[in-house]
Amino acid sequence: MASLVESTIANSEGRKVFDVGAYDFLRKGDAAPDTVNPNLWRHAVLNAHHGLFEVTAGVWQVRGYDISNITFIRGDEGWIVIDPLTSEHTARASLQLINEHVEKRRVTAVIYTHSHADHFGGVLGVTNRAEVDAGRCRIIAPEHFMRETIGENVIAGPAMARRATYQFGPLLPPGPRGHVDCGLGTAVPISPPTLLAPTEDITHTGQELAVDGVRVVFQLTPETEAPAEMNFYFPELKALCMAENCSHTMHNLVPIRGALVRNALNWSKYLNESLQLFGADAEVLFASHNWPRWGNHDLREFLVLQRDLYKWMHDQTMRLANKGLTPLEIAEALELPPEFQAHEHTRGFYGDLVHNAKAVYQRYLSWYDGNPANLHKLPPTEVGQRYVELAGGADALLRHAEVAFERGDYRWVAELVNHLVFADPTNSAARLLQARTLEQLGYQAESATFRNAYLMGAMELRQGPPANKNPNVRARSLVREMTVDQVFDTIAVRTMSENLGGVSLAINWTFTDLAGSPDERWVLGVSNRTMYSSRGMHAPDAVVSVTLTRSKFLDIVLQDTTFVDAVQAGDVMLHGDATALITIFGNLDTFSMGFPIVEP
């Protein structure tokens, strides 16, 4: 219906968040270049369509300005927003687009389909805390949404965010030799996510709500694409939202950035349940990525193929595992059958069969393949030094690798030269050969995530890893929504155990803005070099008691202020030995976002 006039979406400081114009090379109608897998090129061209689209009467989507889609449903009083994207800036631009070209309305409800940042991170672009607190905007999510959001984005946040640069390739320059797509969408905006905690949880399949006058029937699908996820159906609209459980690509059973391993068997069963619950009546199917399906017959066939894809990967992986094959052997043996190869939406533009087979194996049998030789292997630097010695030195290893490169044996070159890079990261010849090798593997990859990872590795071998950044910047909005329990869990992950030998203490906490709730009183302590917390109680032997508000505690955690400054300002009351706070908060490690990946 319409597209943004300006190709660039920027933040309030004018910094570029998303540039749709950078992908105009995909819109010229050119044939696939020899630096992009032709199947991935076609998929990227389809993802490059951007703007406001009418899905069906009463349903619109804005696609192409983020890796995910934002969906608008017309309610009695305003817009119901499904998945407000990754960034508040892309979400705000999308809301402005539909307000301008359809009808200007306020947002009366936000539905998060699941607990990944590209489905809630832009919420402050469509509503705000005041609207939610006043009851003018509902926020609906599957149960355990906050637990899973914090677990993935904060507890594992620094490592996952760094690895995500390889999965999504945001630092790669757009173009046929660089970034072309992310599989689920064109690109990820460069902006930290925001978050408003849900006001309502969906707790069971079949639960029905009237949201701004629109009937919605929900289906919980835990441990599918996300640990907390749900599909839902609009009976009057005959429209089925499949969240991220169905996209126009094979999905990941564990993403290469890291996450909890997904349950391929249950994923398939939930898709079958969707068919049973909604398949007879639905006339349009839309999802949180890619484009919709129209017509009952088409969407049913789509769901059947998606259902069978995840079941096939599960069953065939475990069939071979039970015959004694290891994850590497299974990944090499499995080949996607022609029934799936014939359809774009079951090909690996995002997930990849090679990786998914290993994920199924890991879920049942762990990372360990059963061979004791692999049970306690040497670390990469040490094993690299020994392989270089075994090869007769760096020059001999490089000569062998160059010969293999010339015959196109890129997987072997990548493994071989990786040993030399880890043995001697200053060897420029090794770094350049490894970079060239990873580029060739990237150019061949059908999976956008594999391509991005290979090309990011090549870039960093030439340029080095990115500058370190404080992960608190990305997590700031998420931390603001955390419970006290989640904050204490996050702090405990940073405990420098080596500095706490012989320390045993307890600190009582009272959060005055949580008076009357179980979260008002807490114990935070150290025992056996480990930090623990207990809710709803105070320890009689605590060495110090701390009284403050939860919001001021979050200010301290986010380093907006310090304990000393807060005490001096009268915002924190202390009774007892205040040095206990130094013992705990003075022994917290710091994380960075620029740790090396393709070198030691």
- What distance separates the 2 farthest-apart alpha carbons in the chain? 75
Q: Flag whether pLDDT at 145 surpasses 60.
A: yes
pTM for this one? 0.94
Hey, what CATH class is 483-585 in?
Answer: alpha beta
Q: How far is CA 514 from CA 132, 402, 511, in A?
A: 19, 65, 6
Q: What is the mean pLDDT of residues 528-557?
A: 96
Asked whether the beta carbons of 191 and 87 are under 8 A apart, the reply is yes
Element (H, E) at 525: strand 521-527
Of all residues in the chain, what percent carry a pLDDT higher than 70?
99
Supply φ then ψ for residue 381, to 5 degrees. -65, -45
Q: What is the mean pLDDT of residues 15-30?
A: 96
How far is Cα 303 from Cα 457, in angstroms, rounded to an integer? 36
Model pLDDT for residues 478-521, shown as the tens digit of each residue: 888 889 999 999 999 999 999 999 999 999 999 999 999 999 99
Q: Average model confidence (pLDDT) for the chain?
A: 96
Domain with CATH 3.60.15.30 in the chain: 8-309
DSSP-assigned letter for residue 2: B
Q: Flag whether pLDDT at 477 surpasses 90.
A: no
Domain with CATH 1.25.40.880 in the chain: 374-462
Q: What is the mean pLDDT of residues 74-88?
A: 98
How far is Cα 67 from Cα 59, in angstroms, rounded to an integer? 20
DSSP-assigned letter for residue 112: -
Q: Flag whether pLDDT at 473 surpasses 80.
A: no
19 - beta bridge partners? 8
- Comparing C-alpha atoms, which of 149, 163, 79 is closest to residue 119? 149
Distance of alpha carbon 304 from the chain centroid? 26
Element (H, E) at 443: helix 428-444
Task: Decide: residue 406, CB within 10 A, 0-12 exposed, 13-18 middle, 19+ buried.
Answer: exposed
Residue 150: per-residue pLDDT: 87
The neighbour count for residue 444, using CB atoms within 10 Å, is: 17
Beta strands in 57-104 (DSSP E): 59-63, 70-74, 79-82
Domain with CATH 3.30.1050.10 in the chain: 483-585
How far is Cα 394 from Cα 424, in angstroms, rounded to an integer? 9
Q: Check if CATH label 1.25.40.880 holds for domain 374-462.
A: yes
Residue 156: per-residue pLDDT: 87
- Specify the CATH superfamily of domain 8-309: Metallo-beta-lactamase domain (3.60.15.30)
How far is Cα 384 from Cα 225, in angstroms, rounded to an integer? 36
Task: Decide: residue 501, CB within 10 A, 0-12 exposed, 13-18 middle, 19+ buried.
Answer: exposed
467 vs 329: which has the higher pLDDT: 329
Q: In what order do the strands lie in the sheet containing 70-74?
A: 51-56, 59-63, 70-74, 79-82, 107-111, 138-142, 200-202
Asked whether the beta carbons of 70 and 51 are under 8 A apart, the reply is no
Residue 471: per-residue pLDDT: 57
Tokens at residue 335, please? 């080949």
Supply φ then ψ for residue 372, to 5 degrees. -60, -25
Amino acid code (one letter) for 277? L
Q: How far is CA 400 from CA 59, 323, 430, 433, 460, in A?
A: 59, 35, 12, 12, 23
Element (H, E) at 330: helix 327-333
Q: What is the mean pLDDT of residues 43-57?
A: 98
Question: How many residues would you count in the chain?
Answer: 600
How far is Cα 362 from Cα 348, in angstroms, rounded to an integer? 20
Tokens at residue 74, please? 């017309």
Model pLDDT for residues 83-134, shown as the tens digit of each residue: 999 999 999 999 999 999 999 999 999 999 999 999 999 999 999 999 999 9
Q: What is the mean pLDDT of residues 369-377?
A: 96
Residue 48: per-residue pLDDT: 97
The alpha carbon dihedral of 175, 176, 177, 178 has a sign of positive
Asked whether the beta carbons of 357 and 331 are under 8 A apart, the reply is yes
How far is Cα 418 from Cα 414, in angstroms, rounded to an integer? 6
Q: What angle do helix axes 428-444 and 394-406 make, rounded to 10 degrees?
A: 20
222 - beta bridge partners? none
How far is Cα 483 from Cα 522, in angstroms, rounded to an integer? 12
Helix (H, G, I), strand (E, B) or coil at 361: helix
Please tell me the least confidently modeled range out of 109-118, 151-160, 255-264, 329-338. Answer: 151-160
Q: Flag whether pLDDT at 22 surpasses 70.
A: yes
